[in-house]
């Protein structure tokens, strides 16, 4: 039987599975130093295990790097190549949390992110968006998460300088995740 957590109203302890049809993994990166390119990963999965005390919770997830979509097929093909993500060799990225702690009105989920075989510790700022019933008799919870990484920290170290200074592709990547998760009834 699921029990309510003490820190997040309406959220019960248990295993929650990310619903990819109602979730999103996106990113933003500077292009030519003047604009931002946005992209998404269309295939991903994950599990959130909520403990009786929210600070004992955990998160794990996988991203299919081959599912990148920047709304421009030629650019996507280049990003999948060895110049960037080398998806033939590293098709899957993973995140496994190591701690969950409150910070103000949101939570910090710290964990190991692995991209291109390189693992680094990252912190996700997570906002709990609430809990509600769905049309199929289930229970769903919503979360928003953000973080910023440096692409070269993960071996994505392509250098494409511009003639007048600056670079074609920025170093910092802003990641934004919207999650709708379903409580397991098993």
Residue with tokens 């906002």: 127
Residue with tokens 């440096």: 150
**Looking at the domain assignment, is residue 6 inside a domain?**
no
What is the CATH classification number for the domain harbouring 169? 2.40.128.110
Residue with tokens 């995140």: 95
Q: Which residues pair with 112 in a beta bridge?
A: 96, 121
78 contact partners, CB below 8 Å, separation of at least 6: 84
- The string of pLDDT tens digits covering residues 131-148 is 999 998 999 999 999 999
- Domain range spanning residue 104? 14-183
pTM, whole model, 2 decimals? 0.89
Give the per-residue pLDDT at 5. Answer: 47
69 CB burial (10 A radius; 0-12, 13-18, 19+): middle
**Looking at the domain assignment, is residue 68 inside a domain?**
yes
175 contact partners, CB below 8 Å, separation of at least 6: 25, 26, 27, 145, 146, 147, 148, 149
103-124 as b/e, with b when 16 or more CB fall inside 10 Å? eeebbebebebbbbeeeeebbb
Total structural domains within the chain:
1
Q: Which residues of the chain have pLDDT under 50?
A: 1-6, 167
**Looking at the domain assignment, is residue 8 inside a domain?**
no
- Alpha carbon distance 60, 118 (integer Å): 17
**Looking at the domain assignment, is residue 111 inside a domain?**
yes
- The string of pLDDT tens digits covering residues 27-38 is 998 766 667 889
**Looking at the domain assignment, is residue 4 inside a domain?**
no
Give the per-residue pLDDT at 184. Answer: 92
**Looking at the domain assignment, is residue 35 inside a domain?**
yes
**Looking at the domain assignment, is residue 143 inside a domain?**
yes
Beta strands in the chain (DSSP E): 14-18, 24-31, 35-41, 44-50, 58-64, 68-69, 92-103, 106-115, 118-133, 139-150, 169-183
**Looking at the domain assignment, is residue 164 inside a domain?**
yes
């Amino acid at each position: 039987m699921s029990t309510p957590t003490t820190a997040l109203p309406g959220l019960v302890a248990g295993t929650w599975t990310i619903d990819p049809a109602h979730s999103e993994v996106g990113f933003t990166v500077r292009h030519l130093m003047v604009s931002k390119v946005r992209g998404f990963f269309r295939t991903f999965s994950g599990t959130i295990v909520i403990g009786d005390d929210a600070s004992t919770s955990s998160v794990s997830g996988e991203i299919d790097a081959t599912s990148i979509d920047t709304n421009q097929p030629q650019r996507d093909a280049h990003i999948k190549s060895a110049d960037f993500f080398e998806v033939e060799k590293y098709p899957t990225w993973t995140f496994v949390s190591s701690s969950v702690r409150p910070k103000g009105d949101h939570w910090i989920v710290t964990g190991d992110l692995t991209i291109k075989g390189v693992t680094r510790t990252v912190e996700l700022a997570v906002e709990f968006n609430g809990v509600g019933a769905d049309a199929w008799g289930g229970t769903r919870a919503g979360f928003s998460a953000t973080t910023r990484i440096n692409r070269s920290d993960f071996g994505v170290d392509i250098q494409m300088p511009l003639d007048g200074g600056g670079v074609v592709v920025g170093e910092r990547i802003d990641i934004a995740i919207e999650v709708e998760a379903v409580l397991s009834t098993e």
